[in-house]
Chain A
Amino acid sequence: MKVNAVNLTETEYVLPGNRTCPGCALTLAYRHILKALDGQVIVTVPASCLTVLHGMYPITSVNVPCVNTPFASTGASATGLVAGLRATGRKEITVLAMAGDGGTHDIGIQSLSGAAERQEDFIYICYDNEGYMNTGNQRSGSTPLGAITGTTPILGKRQNPKDIAAIMEAHCLPYIATSNSSYPLDLYEKVRKAKEIKGTRFIHVFAPCAPGWQFPYSDTIKIGQLAVETGLVVLYEVENGIFRLTSASESLARKGNLKPVREYLAKQGRFKNIAEEQISQLQDWVNTRWECYIDRATNF
């Protein structure tokens, strides 16, 4: 049965009330991720907004066991949990590593790459809010071109982000997917699928950040949808090398009409200084990538 908002499990693992900002996309994503895993999971979390979500000792808002681990160590920590569980004969528990884009693209990439190359048996989810949001919005390897951050305060970022899903695909993983907090059921289904696969599974989740990106708290879902509609974010999965567009990106590919990126940029304060030249650079980047995805997709 296909999952929908009605038949989704009512059990909550992210309990009401946590320390994240209003309109937090991470909370929404995490709620569906833990539902998809039925709570049968040990999570490892590096320094990130997710640390904030988990609360402050001795109170936590999350009803699954969790290890907090230093920033650079997420992939290694997950490896240790898997090895420790195997060594002590507890094989039925899923290990989930969940880190932000700074913790994945930048400081955590070594331990993630090492673990992926060893094909360690865990799910790694990067929730991507395109910057160091927990420390107040600084530039990361995932910040888009033209975005103003605390460390690109005047000129905005002058480079495109790195494509972390492509980097992880180069590790020959059994399952790689991209998702988006505005499409929670797409995310839910991908986590369900990942759960049943052995080896290192990687899911990238686009997670808009209202205070960091400077849009109203009420617009988190809209911004996430617009990112997909403009082709800045593409929802897909690669299962044993087979590439499929999914959910809204699949429909867009069938209809063939992406919205201009300008519409997405105009709704966010972080792009207020973006130059015309950068907008067309960004549009070209989106168009090229979109064509590549269409070429690769096997499902339409």
Chain B
Amino acid sequence: MPKTRRASASLTKKANKANIRLLDGNQAAAEGAKLSRVQVIAAYPITPQTPVTEALSEFAERGDLKAEYVAVESEHSAMAVCTSASMVGARTFTATSAHGLAYMHEMLHWAAGARLPVVLACVNRAIGAPWNVLNDQQDSISQRDTGWIQIYARNNQEILDSIIQAYKIAESVYVPVMVCFDGYVLSHTEMPVDVPSQEDVDRFLPPYKPHTILDPANPKNYNLVTLADPRANADGVLCHGYMELRYLLQEALQNSAETIIKVGQEFGELFGRNYANMFWKDNLDDADIVIVAMGSLAMEAKVAMGMLREDGLKVGVLGLRMFRPFPKAALVKALEKARLIVVFDKNISYGSEGATSSEIKSALYGSQIKAAVRNFIVGLGGRDIKARELADAVRKSLPSLKTGALNIEYPEWICYI
């Protein structure tokens, strides 16, 4: 990387003019990684993520991207390459889906625990058994407790933009970031995407500065066995125990909202697309009925909103962008007027309900909001979700608007049983 590159100096200057290209979600992710000048890429092919790996290896082989591309033999190894490369100061990237993400599980914990700013694109896909290669969000939701920041994109522009922002966020708070986008719905669907110039991205994103650097001249031992209680070093200075290190990770995620919004705002100032938010709001100002959805489903929900508004219902859509950290306080503020919240989940926490539904309910607890929360499980394993089905689910929930019923134990499923 040229040493002359300085990010902050010229942020006030507007970006170069729009460069609209027709990209599918996977191409948008690969372009985002390339523009972020990733230095080490390690990935293993899995449907529907495969084109990301192909695009990046082509960039690397062609010399368009000065990066080490490691064609590893598994996803577990992909993340191990990323964590170790990150420890010696390289900016790292990987992408995966479903079983690949599940296979990485141990290493996801390791990356977050070691506070390494790895960025991962998760092309959301269902998990077996039985085999299914189509879209839902069970894969990334199953990794919610690994200590990663999770961003969900609604469209291909957001995929590209979020990956660039992800590096700035991750390298500011030293927490890895997962950028999630729906398989096929986005990954294999072309959309117009404004691809920023390298020059502008370089102005936005400074080079990676590791928090620790491994060097024989100053030997350090990374991720050593750490006891529960604080322990003194050779100079008698008390150092953190395991529990304090875990607290610091939680604190970093808790405080990351500020960074996420700041980075989103800076991005907006430079590129004209503002991300200074944790979720997207559509027509919430007068809405007493709010549809909550995450990823591309939030776009589908907007179509349903239009149908319901024609019926005279005051419906808005809250599209979750951040799932971790979960923006509880901001959500409560945004949902102030809501009397009925209909949450659609493309995942299920078996024996309980959809993950975002639980989060919304938890956010509302203790607030002044007296809204009924209805949860629908939709679109698992690529089941098509039609806007009118979403609208019907809202209509079906309308009695709760009057009764304010809160205690619906389990979610309803939009399926044939």
Which residues from chain A sit less than 8 Å from chain B, CB to CB? Answer: 39-42, 44, 51-52, 54-60, 62-70, 72-73, 75-81, 83-88, 90, 93, 110-111, 113-114, 117-118
Contact = CB atoms under 8 A, between A and B. Distances in A.
Contact of B76 (A39, A59, A63, A73): A73
A218 B92 CA distance: 48
B215 A80 contact: no
Contacts, number: 170
A69 B214 CA distance: 14
A88 B234 contact: no
A56 B70 contact: no
A103 to B, nearest CB: 13
A67 B87 contact: yes
Contacts of B39: 84, 87-88
Contacts of B77: 73, 75-76, 79, 110-111, 114
B221 A40 contact: no
Given A66-B221, A79-B72, A84-B40, A59 B233 contact: yes
B216 A64 contact: yes
Contact of A56 (B40, B88, B110, B231): B231
A72 B106 CA distance: 10
A57 B227 contact: yes
Contacts of B218: 65
Interface of B: 39-40, 42, 67-68, 70-74, 76-78, 80-90, 92, 106-107, 110, 214-216, 218-227, 231-234, 239
A118 B42 CA distance: 13
Contacts of A78: 84
Given A83-B70, A87-B90, A118-B70, A65 B216 contact: yes
Contact of A58 (B67, B214, B239): B239
30 contacts: A39-B219, A54-B224, A55-B224, A58-B231, A60-B221, A62-B221, A65-B218, A65-B219, A65-B221, A66-B220, A66-B222, A67-B84, A67-B222, A70-B106, A72-B76, A73-B107, A76-B80, A76-B81, A76-B84, A77-B80, A80-B81, A80-B84, A80-B85, A80-B88, A83-B40, A83-B90, A84-B84, A84-B85, A87-B40, A87-B90
A227 B324 CA distance: 55
B219 A44 contact: no
A69 B110 contact: yes
Given A67-B214, A76-B84, 18 more contacts: A40-B216, A56-B227, A58-B232, A58-B239, A60-B224, A65-B219, A65-B221, A66-B220, A66-B222, A69-B83, A73-B77, A76-B42, A76-B72, A77-B80, A80-B40, A83-B42, A83-B90, A88-B90
A80 B42 contact: yes
Contact of A83 (B68, B215, B219): B68
Given A73-B107, A114-B74, A90 B231 contact: no
A60 B239 CA distance: 13
A109 B72 CA distance: 13
A266 B251 CA distance: 58
Nearest to B215: A65
Contact of A113 (B71, B73, B78, B232): B73
Given A59-B233, A59-B234, A72-B76, A83 B85 contact: yes
B interface: dominant SS: mixed
B79 to A, nearest CB: 8
B81 A42 contact: no
A117 B232 CA distance: 43
Contacts of A75: 77
A1 B224 CA distance: 38
A69 B114 CA distance: 10
Contacts of B219: 39, 62-66
Contact of B84 (A39, A52, A79): A79
Nearest to A42: B214
A87 B107 CA distance: 22
A124 B109 CA distance: 25
Nearest to B82: A80
Contacts of A40: 216
B65 to A, nearest CB: 11
B270 to A, nearest CB: 26
A229 to B, nearest CB: 37
A62 B239 CA distance: 19
Nearest to A84: B85
Contacts of A73: 76-77, 80, 107
B61 to A, nearest CB: 15
B325 to A, nearest CB: 25
A51 to B, nearest CB: 6
A13 to B, nearest CB: 9
A111 B80 contact: yes
B402 to A, nearest CB: 54
Contacts of A79: 42, 70, 72, 77, 80-81, 84
Given A42-B214, A114-B73, A86 B234 contact: no
Contacts of B239: 57-58
B216 A39 contact: yes
B87 A76 contact: no
Contact of A111 (B73, B226, B232): B73
Given A65-B214, A84-B39, A87-B90, A56 B225 contact: yes
B221 A68 contact: yes
B88 A57 contact: no
Contacts of B216: 39-42, 64-65, 93
A38 to B, nearest CB: 9
Most buried by B among A41, A52, A87: A87
A58 B231 CA distance: 7
Contacts of B225: 51-52, 54-57, 68
B234 to A, nearest CB: 6
Nearest to A111: B77
Contacts of A88: 39, 88-90
Nearest to B241: A57
Contacts of A72: 76, 106
